[in-house]
Amino acid sequence: MQPEFLIIHPPPAQYVAHVQLHRPAALNALNLQLMAELRHTLRLLDADDQVRAIVINGDEQAFAAGADIKQMSGKSAIDRYNTDQFSTWDTIRRIKKPLIAAVSGFALGGGCELAMLCDLIVASETARFGQPEIKLGIMPAAGGTQRLTRAVGKALAMEMVLTGRQLSAAEALQAGLINKIVPVALYLQEAIKLAATMATMSPLAVQMDKEAVLKSFDTTLDECLQFEQKNFYLLFATADQQEGMQAFVEKRKPVFKGR
């Protein structure tokens, strides 16, 4: 089946695959269908002998502006629980081949989490990284509180998660969140170049290296992610979540009441 919200480009280099998030009218917001398509596509690429590294980008304006707020708005905690969206994220977490995020423009909320789920991040000069969920009365739920903290440390993670402050590409590089910054015209090309270098290495060594580096996070990550997800579901039981998302849809400032 042809994906609706992804473009699978022809291999840009030997053994390199390139997948583009494609919902430009919504700044590539990650609705459930897009994420399901991404999971399906990455699984196929992971099983394909002709692929050794995978580049994921959005477009120049946005990598992804987060999970789809309009799709989440009005949903209950149990609706969210029944959706079981995190199994999709979990599958992506288990992709064995290296994933390189090529980020230009907004990487916010779930978009920042998807970039952080990748193994390397190449950013354009216009990239913005942030976890603005607090402004909607919710919180990150796809690893944002965990991977961000591990990457940039407690002080900056707290500031970003509790105030929604975005990092420029330069700040993200300085904080250790990303690998490099290049001009907008080159960000995708640079990510493909990195992927192509990895694709010249022993595929098994690359996979086992990736596995071993990720293992360093795993001891407590599973527990932390479950904790994070439980709290995310709980926030859908609050009036503030409904207010935050409704206000976004109505293009007005939210009024939070602490319940």
- Residue 110 interacts with ligand HXC (CB under 6 A): yes or no: yes
- Residue 132 interacts with ligand HXC (CB under 6 A): yes or no: yes
The tokens of 162 are what? Answer: 């509790």
| Catalytic site includes residue 175 | no
| Catalytic site includes residue 60 | no
- Considering only residues 6, 17, 19, 27, which one is a binding residue for ligand HXC as defined by CB under 6 A? 27
Rounded to the nearest whole angstrom, what is the least distance from the CB of residue 247 to ligand HXC in the complex? 11
Amino acid at 152: V
Amino acid at 95: I
Query: First CA to last CA across the chain, in angstroms?
Result: 43
- Residue 26 interacts with ligand HXC (CB under 6 A): yes or no: yes
Binding-site size for ligand HXC (CB under 6 A) equals 19
| Catalytic site includes residue 67 | yes
- Considering only residues 37, 46, 133, 190, which one is a binding residue for ligand HXC as defined by CB under 6 A? 133
Rounded CA-CA distance 13/154 in Å is 38
- Residue 141 interacts with ligand HXC (CB under 6 A): yes or no: yes
Q: By C-beta, is 52 or 147 nearer to ligand HXC?
A: 147
Judged by CB under 6 A, the stretch of 137-145, 148-156, 177-185, 219-227 that binds ligand HXC is 137-145
Catalytic site positions: 67, 110, 113, 133
Binding site for ligand HXC (CB under 6 A): 26-27, 29, 65-70, 106, 108-110, 132-133, 136, 140-142
